[in-house]
Amino acid sequence: MSHLERSLSQHGIEISGWLLPPPGHPEEDTPDADALEGSDRSQAQIVPPALLPNTLGAMLQRFAEEIGDPAEAYYLALLCVAASLVPSKTTLLADARFRLSAPPILWGGLTGCSDSGARVINTLTLPLKDLQAEYHTHRQQRIKDRETALRAREKGQKGDPTGEIPDPPPRVELWTSDCRAGVVELILARQPDRGLLIVPDGLAEFLQESGAWPGGRRSDRTFWWRLYSGLPLEHSSGITFVTLTPHPSVSVIGGISHDPLRVLWTKHTQTGFDLWPCFAWVDVPPRYCAEDQGSVPHSLRRLLVDVYRYLQTCPPMQHVLDEEGNQLWACWRKELLSRVRNACNYKIQMLLSHVFEKAARIALVLHRLDAACIGAIPSVIVPARTLDRGMEFAMWLEQQAEAMTRDPNPKTR
């Protein structure tokens, strides 16, 4: 079971409270998002969370508290959106010995009240749609410029046609709600160096399209499992394969109620290329399902647009850990690998087999986010403290998923 070689177990490890720094804990030396032009500096008075120790994290935390939602739901949604904006060729070599090279791909699910999950997702995706609108406006202008140049050339055909004709503008799609494999494949082929975020109308729809439901087609699961793994998308052409997208990067964020999730957990059997452990889950309890108490603050929305835009401008890199990070990774693996092998059942083993890679992927996205929040090019080396943050959140997410395997409905836990 090769996946289990990159696994860990949370049994016997107390992880409650990891997301917030303990009293007296020194602030980490990480970038502060208020360095971005136009950010709300008054937010800096809020103590930032340990996962996102900057103004962006503090603003998200305060907004979640004011609305009454768990802040971790906003952190997960942000990470999924940010992952889709990192150039697709970017990786983090987390474990050279076992060839674990993590891509910027994250799949997240918010469970519980659909209205509350939608509110969380909209908070993080509305700025992405603002950025998408900018691309559309720019493309429309380029189309007009091209048409003008073509008309000018036609009028000067008998003279000296020196006017340069702009290239046809490419279409940029940052997100889609369409989770059909053919549509996603076409979008990726048009923009092979960009990532894509899937925001399905309901995560149950995505799970059905991907074959994750009991009885789903293996061919569908294989396609999506390859996407989650960042493997090239290929088509058979006779006896050869044609690579359409060498470095696909597709992240997912969506909401799902407890009833369909219960079906997924309780009726699932081991079928190969399992997709359910690929997701990170955060439960939004029913008590948080209140009426919407207002739109996203303008300062937060503007800051997110700036961060999202800068995530795209940074070049792709093959990141590595520093010496301390390599030691931390090796120690973590050595200490916890025996526990994953002794996990109580297959489902827990499958969840734990993905924790290492989730931690590496989260650390990669956090590293790029840290740089984007101050308008800087990220360093090739990912610091150990960033890896530690990724590990802590991955462990917290694993605990949530493990609780759901026992009972997807929090009312009966």
Tokens of 266: 């309780």
pLDDT at 32 over 90: no
Instruction: Name the residue with higher pLDDT: 408 or 248.
Output: 248
pLDDT per residue over 227-262, tens digit each? 999 999 887 666 666 677 999 999 999 999 888 887
- Domain with 19, as residue range(s), is 2-149+164-408
Tokens of 330: 């090796």
The one-letter amino acid code at 67 reads I
The answer to whether position 113 is within a domain reads yes
Question: What pTM was estimated for this model as a whole?
Answer: 0.84
Question: Among 179-188, 209-218, 235-244, 312-321, whose mean pLDDT is lowest?
Answer: 235-244
The answer to whether position 154 is within a domain reads no
Q: Please, which pLDDT band fits residue 19 given cuts at 50, 70 and 90?
A: very low
The answer to whether position 374 is within a domain reads yes
CATH number for position 115: 3.40.50
Q: How confident is the model over 169-197, as a mean pLDDT?
A: 93
Total domain count, the chain: 1
pLDDT per residue over 255-307, tens digit each? 998 888 877 777 665 655 678 889 999 998 765 445 555 578 999 999 999 99
Provide the mean pLDDT of the chain.
81
In the chain, the percentage of residues whose pLDDT exceeds 90 is 48
Distance separating alpha carbons of residues 389 and 383, to the nearest angstrom: 10
Tokens of 309: 């835009």
Instruction: Name the residue with higher pLDDT: 33 or 271.
Output: 271
The answer to whether position 413 is within a domain reads no
The answer to whether position 155 is within a domain reads no
pLDDT at 412 over 60: no
pLDDT at 371 over 60: yes
Cα 311–Cα 317–Cα 321 angle in degrees, nearest 5: 105
The answer to whether position 93 is within a domain reads yes
The answer to whether position 114 is within a domain reads yes
Q: Provide the β-strand partners of residue 196.
A: 250
Residue found by looking up tokens 């734990």 in the block: 352
pLDDT at 2 over 70: no
